[in-house]
Amino acid sequence: MKKGTLFLIPVPLADNAAHKSCTPFLVDTINSIKTYIVENEKTARKFLKEAGLKTPQSELVIHDYGKHKRGSSLAPFFKELNEGIDVGLMSEAGCPGVADPGADIVAEAHKRNIKVVPLVGPNAMLQALMASGFSGQSYAFTGYLPIDKGDRAKRIKDLEQLSQRYRQTQLFMETPFRNNHLLEDILKNCQPNTMLCVACNINAEDEFIKTLPISLWRKEKVDLHKKPTVFLIYKGN
């Protein structure tokens, strides 16, 4: 029996941003499938409605891959795919599998020889890189930095050195309620001529993206508390 296809469906990064995020192919795809693997069923259903789903929601099969469902067998998530039924994978925001637990589902799909199709859509890391003015030829996404203040300071300095050595843009993030603390640590531990881009609330109505050297950031006053933010540093020389 031919197996189904796993479609990776990007989700808007912010409220009221569906019109910025949904391609015609994405809309066609969600209207051609009825089974989904999602990180949060409530927000997934909301997005599908905003994106233009015409299928009655009562007809959908939603597999919850939230944090309480991880760590056990992945077999139940592949029942429909093994029966030849196409399935959509969605994360909470952005692209499934990128800084996202959905990567485990994708890896398992490859093991099971299931076709994986990534759809075009918003990605906070790439959009921040695009808007930063930093090198897009060489870049690295580090994810979350250490919580311990000493370890975090060391990591920031290490990333700055890596950026200078390889002329490589370094991207990282933090849990939104700790953003202001991370910004303080970046300004404290980086050299004055190192460039920093702060990309906050990407695609939202109050989107804020700004690039300045550390020396000038130290004179700025910004509040990033509880706002999804990507930090990028670049030290070219």
**Mean pLDDT, range 208-213, rounded to an integer:** 98
Largest CA distance in the chain: 64
CA dist., res. 116 & res. 109, Å (int): 7
Tokens of 67: 């944090």
Give the pLDDT band of residue 237 (cuts 50, 70, 90).
confident
Half-sphere exposure for 26 (CA within 13 Å, toward CB): 25
pLDDT of residue 77: 95
- Residue 70 reports pLDDT greater than 80: no
- Residue 69 reports pLDDT greater than 80: no
Domains and CATH numbers, the chain: 6-118 (3.40.1010.10), 124-234 (3.30.950.10)
- CA-based angle 203:209:215, to the nearest 5? 165
Q: Is the dihedral of CA 183, 184, 185, 189 positive or negative?
A: positive
pLDDT tens for each residue of 112-142 = 999 999 999 999 999 999 999 999 999 999 9
Mean pLDDT value across the chain: 95
Whether the model clears a pTM of 0.85, i.e. scores above it, the answer is yes
**Among 34-43, 71-80, 147-156, 224-233, where is mean pLDDT lowest?**
71-80
pLDDT tens for each residue of 34-68 = 999 999 999 999 999 999 999 999 999 999 997 76
CA dist., res. 68 & res. 188, Å (int): 38
pLDDT of residue 67: 73
- CA-based angle 73:58:114, to the nearest 5? 40
